[in-house]
Chain A
Amino acid sequence: MNTIDFSFDPEWMDTLTAPFMANAFAAGLFIALAAGVMGYFTIARHSTFAAHALAHIGLPGATGAVLLGVPVSLGMGAFALGGALVIGALGKRVSEREIATGTVLAFATGLGLFFARLSSSASQQMQSILFGSILTITTDQIIGFAVFDALLLVLLAVIYRPLLFSSLDEQVAQAKGVPIGLMNVAFMAIMAGVITIAVPAVGTLLIFALVITPAATANILAGSPFKAMVIASVLCLTSIWLGLVLSAMFPAPPSFIIVTLSTLFWAIAKGVNTLKTR
């Protein structure tokens, strides 16, 4: 196919009702919930670049898993968690150190490529790991996502306020006895999980637009942390679901449309806000 064909597909309803679409919609729901909540904390902690890097640190795990014949999510999760614990143990300040993070990010991406070249099946999967393939998510993966979301909500119910305090006002929180080291490790570990479940949807390269961008948009719209998290989840969900519908109507990769919508929402909010405050 040499020409780009954006023509409307009249059979789009058939595509939408296919079984793989049901999985994609369910995945979208679980991803949006986790990404919306954790995106807020990531921005509050000034750790967006560290979160972005985690996806790339997971890349060699993902391609390595294909090489060994174990599930991609397992390898991805193990590497992301390992990276998260190292960054977390080094403290919040370190996660702001962009040079160290960027260097590790580049190295991990290179290592991911190396693993991918070692086997032909990993090479084939490279594209979907980098850019996502939400339409191929399996029922087993959905169950994994649901379990992760349940664990996330239970954990957050316990540490919500101390985590929030340490994210927004670390010095005062520390003086008031919040265990900031523990909060930092907990945050990074949860982030590794969020990255692991979001990568199948949009891939390691585009994950910023799915996890961080909706939270940034929500931050413009709401001043209370809880409201911002709810709005971020709704925006993330809208991007994914609307992206799926549009990609059924017009033949374009879902990842592209999802990321485009998320970016568009952010650009509109940012633009309107700039006009208002001028």
Chain B
Amino acid sequence: MSKSDCIVFHDAAVRRGERIIWQHGTFSIPSGSVTAIVGTNGTGKTTMMKAELGLLPLAAGSLTVLGKPAGSMNHQIGYVPQSYASDIDSNLTAEQSVLLGLTGTRFGIHMITKAQRAKAREAMEFTGIADKAKYRLSELSGGLRQRVAIAQALVCDPKLLMLDEPLANLDLASQRSTVHVLAKLNQELGMTIQVVAHDLNMLLPILTGAVYLLDGHPHYADMGKVLDSDLLTHLYGTQVQVVTTPQGDMFVTPTPDEPRNQTQDMHSADEVAQMHHHVHASTNSDR
């Protein structure tokens, strides 16, 4: 494990009851990277994020985040969970919500200080919602609420930002502005960013690598290796092509129809997890 690694998995496994979600995870994610956790539904993407936060115990192996065992550095991690419908009827103002990221864990009586308000304002300015500070969450669009949540995660100056499906249920313009905020965080503040995503296209311009959950095993690869039609086809369980436009933009796209001579892999992830075991020569072999 090198010093520049932000998250290090070593033979890690997670199970729920008798079911193995994934196992034999051995890889490391470098600091300053923007990675996506990709995989089909039910392969354990959110589970992986929860394990990294120390909220789910490992069934085997070890998991180190920011140099310490998972869960012990959470004060330096900004976490944006998948947004649920409950936000929609929240009467809290954007500013109040962001301030909770700064004051919410403290026991005892504490008045909110000017410095804390300034800090919250700075975070809101960064995500471009400073003018919405006094609006209630219920009055904001999904995209703006997402940026409030990111500002709340930013306000405590995290080194690592984790977002669970930040682009789900957002329209195209909101997806683009969210990606823009993430790019700015990574480039200007050098923040390591990890995103759970099922659609890679929007994120492609900023991703440096991806963790892909395949056959019940997590793997990490730099972006160039992930963008391979065969791998993505295997990963999503449906025919996928990588298309490069004349401008150099890449797209991941499903092919119009399934080829006749190919059978689809219909095993569920946890079944496949039992079938084989990759031997990893070295943690950092592919870099």
Contacts and interface: CB of A to CB of B under 8 A. Distances in A.
Interface of A: 46, 157-162, 164-165, 168-169, 171-178, 219-220, 222-225, 228, 277
A169 B104 contact: yes
| Chain B interface category by residue count | 20 to 34
**Most-contacted residue by chain A among B90, B92, B152 (CB, 10 A):** B92
Interface core residue of A172, A175, A224 (most chain B CB under 10 Å): A175
Nearest to B108: A158
8 residue pairs, one from A and one from B, having the closest CB atoms: A165-B104, A223-B93, A171-B81, A219-B91, A175-B79, A175-B53, A176-B105, A157-B109
A128 B8 CA distance: 64
B77 A162 contact: no
Given A175-B77, A176-B105, A178-B104, 15 more contacts: A46-B86, A158-B108, A162-B104, A164-B100, A165-B100, A169-B97, A171-B79, A172-B79, A172-B152, A172-B153, A173-B105, A174-B55, A177-B74, A178-B105, A223-B136
A236 to B, nearest CB: 18
Residue of B53, B96, B136, B139 ringed by the most chain A CB atoms within 10 A: B96
A175 B55 contact: yes
B101 A228 contact: no
Given A161-B107, A162-B107, A168 B100 contact: yes
Contacts of B75: 176-177
B92 A225 contact: yes
24 contacts: A159-B107, A160-B109, A161-B100, A161-B105, A162-B107, A164-B104, A168-B90, A169-B97, A169-B100, A169-B104, A172-B79, A172-B104, A175-B53, A175-B55, A175-B74, A175-B77, A175-B79, A176-B74, A177-B75, A219-B91, A220-B91, A222-B91, A224-B96, A225-B96
A172 B105 CA distance: 10
Of listed B53, B93, B107, residue having the most chain A CB within 10 A: B107
Contacts of A174: 55
Interface of B: 53, 55, 74-75, 77, 79-81, 86, 90-93, 96-97, 100-101, 103-110, 134, 136, 139, 152-153
A228 B90 CA distance: 13
Contacts of B90: 168
B91 A228 contact: yes
A157 to B, nearest CB: 5
A176 B109 CA distance: 19
A223 B91 contact: yes
A157 B101 CA distance: 19
A117 to B, nearest CB: 42
A65 to B, nearest CB: 36
- Main secondary structure on chain A at its contact with chain B? helix
A239 B191 CA distance: 52
Contacts of B107: 158-159, 161-162
Given A46-B86, A224-B93, A176 B104 contact: yes
Contacts of A159: 107
With a 10 A CB-CB cut-off, give which of A158, A168, A174, A219 has the most chain B CB atoms: A168
Contacts of B106: 161-162
A224 B96 CA distance: 7
| B90, B104, B139, B153, most chain A CB atoms within 10 A | B104
A222 B93 CA distance: 9
B202 to A, nearest CB: 23
A122 B136 CA distance: 48
A174 to B, nearest CB: 6
A164 B101 CA distance: 11
Nearest to B91: A219
A223 B109 CA distance: 20
Contacts of A168: 90, 92, 97, 100
B77 to A, nearest CB: 7
Most chain B CB atoms below 10 A, which of A161, A171, A228: A161
A157 B107 CA distance: 8
B50 to A, nearest CB: 9
A165 B105 contact: yes
A174 B108 CA distance: 18
A230 to B, nearest CB: 15
B160 to A, nearest CB: 12
A168 B139 CA distance: 16
B96 A223 contact: yes
Query: By CB atoms of chain B within 10 A, which of A165, A172, A224 has the most?
Result: A172
